[in-house]
Structure 1
Amino acid sequence: MSQPSYELLPGADESPVLLHVPHSARTIPAGVRAGIGLDDASLERELDHITDAHTAELAEAAARLAGITPWRFVNRLSRLVVDPERFPDEREEMLAVGMGAVYTRTTHREALRGAGFDPGPLVARYFRPYAEAMTRAVAGRLAATGRAVVIDVHSYPSRALPYELHGSGPRPPVCLGTDRFHTPGELAQAAREAFAGCGDTGLDSPFSGTYVPLEYYGKDVRVGALMVEIRRDLYMTEPGGPAGAGLERLAVALAALVDSVGRAAPAR
């Protein structure tokens, strides 16, 4: 039986929080691997750079520590299969470096897939079902609590990689990605307070924006969103090594954010 490409892990009925973990996995199905033009050693090095290592474990630990258990939506396949947070069309600025919904270039801008590669089958098989499942997960939180808050759990390298379009700006220990419509000021402030013990926090550098299913994006103010980008040297050996003691401290901070959001009344 094949491994599912994503998993929704239930939390408390009263929790509006959905921890989204899109980039933590390294698994690539054999059929997808056949279309990647890297040898095994090169692919492992690329996975070291591109994977948000240990973020699924971070979200799991935070859920365990939180007083109000959040829901978790976890991608179980590598983003080298599809990147569920990209647009599947020309709206995606990362197409400029070959990193749209289906990557054709590596983190170092080398060829990942051939020039004639057709991303359509991967978008149909993996991207669209994932997006539909995330839409249902958000709808479930709205139905149960009247609001939904998607908190993306990411990490990023301490030194910019060549694929980064905005890598020349600040690289704080914790970067908060925001959206004008879906990130109210109190949500960003709650994150600043929760992560205060982990070092400085910054906004939208080196990565910006949030993930909201397109059905709700820019339309439904009941859906809040925040991206939490953690610099990898805080908790692991780069580029793809083991987690260290910093992971527990970050889990405590993320749990504090979850509880702050879970207790808060909707406000605008």
Structure 2
Amino acid sequence: MTDTAPSFRLHPGAPDSPVILHVPHSSRVIPEDVRAGILLDDRELGVESDHITDAHTAELAEAAAQAAGRTPWRFVNGLSRLVVDPERFPDEREEMLAAGMGAVYTRTTHREILRPADFDGQALIERYFRPYAEAMTAAVTERLDAVGRAVVIDVHSYPTKALPYELHGDGPRPPVCLGTDSFHTPPALLDAAREAFAGFGGIGLDSPFAGTYVPLRYYGTAVNVGALMVEIRRDLYMEEPGGPAGPGLDALAGVATASGAYEVMSDHLGVRGERVRKWT
């Protein structure tokens, strides 16, 4: 750990809720000393922030929490992903390194230079990435200790038109994309999410973005940790790029309905990780 003030916040939910709404990319905040290492001028940085930020997703998650019958927990990143991206691998396992967008970005969404190619991001990893990962792991552990299970719903948005940095941007771009994991996304959770978002013009799986976020301590081993990524296409609720929210802001309140699937999903789990029925 470091003596840097936490750059994230865990908003408490109901003591008996297993659900954590994870909001990693909603902020535009960049500390001054980190800003000094970014080569873009202020105008260019503003444009880049418009493209890279999942604008208003913190508000969307808050609306979802308020609409839920049982309030989910919310883990919200307070810094821009241009500081560090907490959902990337911090090493060579990260495929986005090919686009200069590993845990510490060196390229922009349009593949322009963001930081020098030889920039050493290790200090940012230690200062921001690792404390974030540790805190998120602790949040999941706390839900497991409290109720015997946890589900992480990752709250994102994405642009209507593909940006040059996207490695898989040539696929479908539905109004709602649900990212899944073969181990951590059980059918009950996926079915509930489909039902929740059925009225928003179409739902796709794992395109243009795929996968889920699960702390590495539990990834691929803990059957009582579920996960789903919700990607809302930005034209549903805001003016692109980086503009104000519109009437569709409440659309993500459907996440609250989707999170209720974990109560159904408990039928598929024993206590504290004992597998009763295989997730497929």
1:72 is aligned with what amino acid?
Answer: R
1:95 is aligned with what amino acid?
Answer: L
Alignment of 1:165-176 (within 5 A): 165-176=167-178
Match of 1:260 in 2: 261
Q: Give the drift of 1:186.
A: 1.5
Per mean C-alpha deviation after superposition, the further-off stretch among 21-30 and 177-186 is 177-186
Match of 2:115 in 1: 113
Q: Give the drift of 1:260.
A: 3.2
> After superposition, what is the alpha-carbon deviation per residue over 1:33-53, rounded to whole angstroms, capped at 9, x for unaligned?
000000000000000000000
- 1:58 partner SS: helix
Match of 1:234 in 2: 236
Aligned counterparts of 2:64 and 2:263: Cα–Cα separation in 1: 13
Alignment of 1:36-51 (within 5 A): 36-51=38-53
Give the share of equivalent positions with the same residue, in percent.
74
Aligned counterparts of 1:262 and 1:243: Cα–Cα separation in 2: 32
Q: Give the drift of 1:185.
A: 1.4
Contact 2:179–2:209, Cα closer than 8 Å, also in 1: yes
Aligned counterparts of 2:11 and 2:267: Cα–Cα separation in 1: 24
Contact 1:175–1:229, Cα closer than 8 Å, also in 2: yes
Alignment of 1:94-243 (within 5 A): 94-243=96-245
Contact 2:63–2:252, Cα closer than 8 Å, also in 1: no
- 2:151 partner SS: strand
1:181 is aligned with what amino acid?
Answer: F
1:218 is aligned with what amino acid?
Answer: G
Q: Give the drift of 1:266.
A: 4.2
Contact 1:68–1:262, Cα closer than 8 Å, also in 2: no
- 2:266 partner SS: coil
Q: Give the drift of 1:198.
A: 1.4
- 1:175 partner SS: strand
> After superposition, what is the alpha-carbon deviation per residue over 1:205-241, rounded to whole angstroms, capped at 9, x for unaligned?
0000000000000111110000000000000000000
Aligned mate of 1:35, from 37, 40, 65: 37
Aligned counterparts of 1:266 and 1:148: Cα–Cα separation in 2: 14
Contact 1:188–1:226, Cα closer than 8 Å, also in 2: yes
Q: Unaligned 5+ residue runs, structure 1?
A: none
- 2:230 partner SS: strand
Q: Give the drift of 1:3.
A: 6.2
Match of 1:75 in 2: 77
Aligned counterparts of 2:222 and 2:6: Cα–Cα separation in 1: 29
> After superposition, what is the alpha-carbon deviation per residue over 1:95-115, rounded to whole angstroms, capped at 9, x for unaligned?
000000000000000000012
> After superposition, what is the alpha-carbon deviation per residue over 1:39-96, rounded to whole angstroms, capped at 9, x for unaligned?
0000000000000000000000111111100000000000000000000000000000
Aligned counterparts of 2:257 and 2:7: Cα–Cα separation in 1: 29
Aligned counterparts of 1:250 and 1:222: Cα–Cα separation in 2: 25
1:157 is aligned with what amino acid?
Answer: P
Q: Give the drift of 1:163.
A: 0.3
Residue-pair matches, total: 267
- 1:265 partner SS: helix
1:38 is aligned with what amino acid?
Answer: L
Q: Give the drift of 1:248.
A: 1.3
Q: Unaligned 5+ residue runs, structure 2?
A: 269-276
